[in-house]
Amino acid sequence: MKDLLRYLKNYKLYSVLAPLFKLLEAAFELIIPLVVAAIVDRITAVEEGTFTQGDGTTFVIWMCLILVGLGIIGLISAVSAQYFAAKAAVGFSKELRSDLFGKMQSLSYSEIDGLGTSAMITRMTSDVNQIQTGVNLVLRLFMRSPFIVFGAMIMAFVLSAAAGGVFALTIAVLFVVVFGIMLITIPMYKKTQGNLDKVTKATRETLVGSRVVRAFCKEEDEIKGYDSRNAVLTASQKGVGKISALMNPLTYAIINAGIILLIYVGALKVDSGSLTQGEVIALYNYMSQILIELIKLANLIITVTKCFASAGRVNEILNMNPSLVHTAVAEIVENMPFISFNNVSMKYNKGGMEALSGISFTAEKGQTIGIIGGTGSGKTTLVNLIPHFYDASEGEVFIGGQNVNSLGDEKLREMCGVVPQRAVLFKGTIRDNLRWGNEDASDDEIMQAVNYACASDVVQSKPDGLDEAVEQGGKNFSGGQRQRLTIARALVRKPEILILDDSASALDYATDARLRNNLRLLDYNPTVFIVSQRTSSIHHADKILVLDGGKLVGCGKHDELLDSCQVYREIYESQYGKEGAKA
């Protein structure tokens, strides 16, 4: 948690004022029992004839006015403390959440794959909110509660050493109970948050794949699976809740035992004349204050325990070092192969199987490279190495004669236009989505990219054109429309390297053919990588890479591969038949 305190540096004043106002409120609360004791003793003195009725009444009225004044000042102090604590806590969470999101964006695909989307969402939402609540309560109560507890004990010693001893014994027992429960529950809260991750993950997967679930009539199975994970979460929450729930009854029991002992000791002292009745009432009030504050402190400790558990999970991400290797930034060299793979191998996990093994090829500027192979053959893995989304486990990937590690990710990715397998659109308008490729693009440039992507009919069919609203995930567009718009988004950038990762799978053959023809007409002449399951989509390519089991089993043009590569020929024949292969 201490590593996260740096996010309070811009809120130092608020962080100081909040506890100070709480201490001011607490100081006036410690005075109140003395005022009440004075009132009781004066009334007792009037009854005994030491003071006249008039003197007693005047004194009581003044003391009551003092109590009202202390109450007003305490109220103002409490409201001020709450305001400053809220300002500091909300500002803290804002900066923490911002840094956490930035850190997540800086992680490589490997770290994101390892963490999982649901775990990152839980940390961004539930965990940060838990930390914010903890910071707020700590600023308001962490100094106030101990101040009143020890202040009341000191006041008890001032009034009577014997009564002070009762206070000290009671507080010592309470601290053993409170901190014992805290030590037991901290690891349990961490486990509970982990179970919450699993429920969040299951919920997200089911909601995203709701159509698939219904198509296979798996609603009941998903409900049972969710209920099972939810039951584990509930059991862990109940387990830690039962232990945490012991805090209040144990606190009440110990305090009431202390009050009984205090009243007994007080009665003996009053009988001996070393304490007045008013002072006994003051001691009782101090013990009651301790009870109230320790209940608050117990709840604070439960919250802080959750806060520490959440802070550890957030720090886990903040302390992550992206695994992508970066070396000294270099400049692209002319008269070198534009893109070159030199004996490249790739593993997603250190102990896992190789997704790619010994891949070597070159691609020149302006060439079209087709990539084909069976499912799981490593096609997407290969193209993800070009923009440095992953590091090669062995071998090197060169662009312009320089290793991708030395080009700088921002510069490298500005050179690339990537259209992933899953067409993703963001909530906003069509124009907003297409300007992701180039935020300064004019409408003419956008429409030019739209025309090249064969998406002009998509825009023109919408009443608002480029200003047509896009729902979250582009749900108001068909699969083919989303694919064409994501291709247009990449073309708006006018990239030097265009990667189409099976991004035309939802297009019919005629539209796919028009799209490929349009790509050849691009005036900025990009190097195009087309990943596809269709041989028709890549047969025109300058070079076709055939992958099988992560290995490059064929490299050449369409006609050459039909004669020399059995894997390619089998794929082609499966789509066109043997007669098509002969033709």
Quick one: angle between helices 12-48 and 277-318, nearest 10?
A: 170
65, part of any domain: no
Q: What is the pLDDT of residues 167-215, one digit of tens each?
A: 788 878 887 887 788 778 777 877 887 788 788 778 878 887 887 888 8
- Closest residue by Cα to residue 74 from 33, 126, 32, 137: 32
- Closest residue by Cα to residue 356 from 368, 343, 369: 343
210, part of any domain: yes
Tokens at residue 330, please?
């270099």
Could you tell me if 495 and 417 are in contact, meaning their C-beta atoms sit under 8 angstroms apart? yes
Task: Mention every residue, 6+ apart, whose C-beta is less than 8 A from residue 46.
Answer: 52, 53, 55, 56
What DSSP assignment string belongs to 426-455? Answer: -SEEHHHHHTTS-TT--HHHHHHHHHHTT-
26, part of any domain: no
What's residue 280's pLDDT? 81
Q: What's the pLDDT band for 547 if we cut at 50, 70, 90?
A: very high
- Give the count of beta carbons closer than 10 Å to the beta carbon of residue 545: 26
Q: Are residues 281 and 370 in the same domain?
A: no
Q: Alpha-carbon distance 136 to 142, whole Å?
A: 10
Q: Are residues 395 and 280 in the same domain?
A: no
Could you tell me if 363 and 543 are in contact, meaning their C-beta atoms sit under 8 angstroms apart? yes
Q: What is the pLDDT of residues 175-186, one digit of tens each?
A: 788 778 877 877
Q: Are residues 498 and 414 in the same domain?
A: yes
Last residue of a domain, one of 285, 318, 351: 318
Q: Are residues 267 and 180 in the same domain?
A: yes
Q: Are residues 399 and 305 in the same domain?
A: no
Q: Are residues 243 and 111 in the same domain?
A: yes
43, part of any domain: no
SS3 sequence of 164-225 = HHHHHHHHHHHHHHHHHHHHHHHHHHHHHHHHHHHHHHHHHHHHHCHHHHHHCCCHHHHHHH
Most confident range (mean pLDDT) of 145-159, 246-260, 561-575 is: 561-575
44, part of any domain: no
Last residue of a domain, one of 286, 318, 350: 318
- Give the count of beta carbons closer than 10 Å to the beta carbon of residue 253: 11
What is the span of the domain harbouring residue 184? 89-318
Cα 388 to chain centroid, rounded: 24
What DSSP assignment string belongs to 547-573? Answer: EETTEEEEEE-HHHHHHH-HHHHHHHH
Q: What is the percentage of the chain residues whose pLDDT exceeds 70?
A: 96
What's residue 453's pLDDT? 92
Please report, as a single letter, which amino acid is at residue 155.
M
Task: Mention every residue, 6+ apart, whose C-beta is less than 8 A from residue 561.
Answer: 544, 546, 554, 568, 569
Sheet containing 339-347: give its strands across.
354-363, 339-347, 394-399, 402-403
Strands 416-419 and 428-429: what pairing? unpaired
Number of domains in the chain: 2
> Looking at the predicted structure, is the pLDDT value of residue 342 above 70?
yes
Q: What's the pLDDT band for 583 if we cut at 50, 70, 90?
A: very low
What DSSP assignment string belongs to 60-115? Answer: HHHHHHHHHHHHHHHHHHHHHHHHHHHHHHHHHHHHHHHHHHHHHHHS-HHHHHHH
Q: What is the pLDDT of residues 370-420, one digit of tens each?
A: 999 888 888 989 999 999 888 888 999 999 888 888 888 888 888 899 998
Q: Which residue in this structure is represented by tokens 């979250």?
A: 472
Q: Are residues 441 and 543 in the same domain?
A: yes
Q: What's the pLDDT band for 1 if we cut at 50, 70, 90?
A: low
Q: Are residues 371 and 313 in the same domain?
A: no
Q: Are residues 301 and 391 in the same domain?
A: no
Q: What's the pLDDT band for 241 if we cut at 50, 70, 90?
A: confident
Q: If you average pLDDT over residues 496-525, what whole number do you get?
A: 88
pTM score, whole prediction = 0.68
Q: What's the pLDDT band for 250 if we cut at 50, 70, 90?
A: confident
Q: In whole numbers, what is the pLDDT of the chain averaged over residues?
A: 84
Last residue of a domain, one of 262, 284, 318: 318
Q: Alpha-carbon distance 483 to 537, whole Å?
A: 15
325, part of any domain: no
Q: Are residues 188 and 271 in the same domain?
A: yes
404, part of any domain: yes
* Residue 15 CB-half CA count within 13 A: 15
Measured CA to CA in angstroms, residue 582 lies from 188, 511, 544, 560, 578 at distances of 68, 26, 19, 13, 6
518, part of any domain: yes
Q: Alpha-carbon distance 525 to 366, whole Å?
A: 5
Q: Are residues 403 and 528 in the same domain?
A: yes
- Closest residue by Cα to residue 383 from 474, 481, 490: 490
Could you tell me if 469 and 432 are in contact, meaning their C-beta atoms sit under 8 angstroms apart? no
Strands 543-548 and 551-556: what pairing? antiparallel
Tokens at residue 190, please?
């961490």
Q: What is the percentage of the chain residues whose pLDDT exceeds 90?
A: 22
Q: Are residues 205 and 349 in the same domain?
A: no
At 379, which CATH number? Answer: 3.40.50.300
What's residue 582's pLDDT? 46
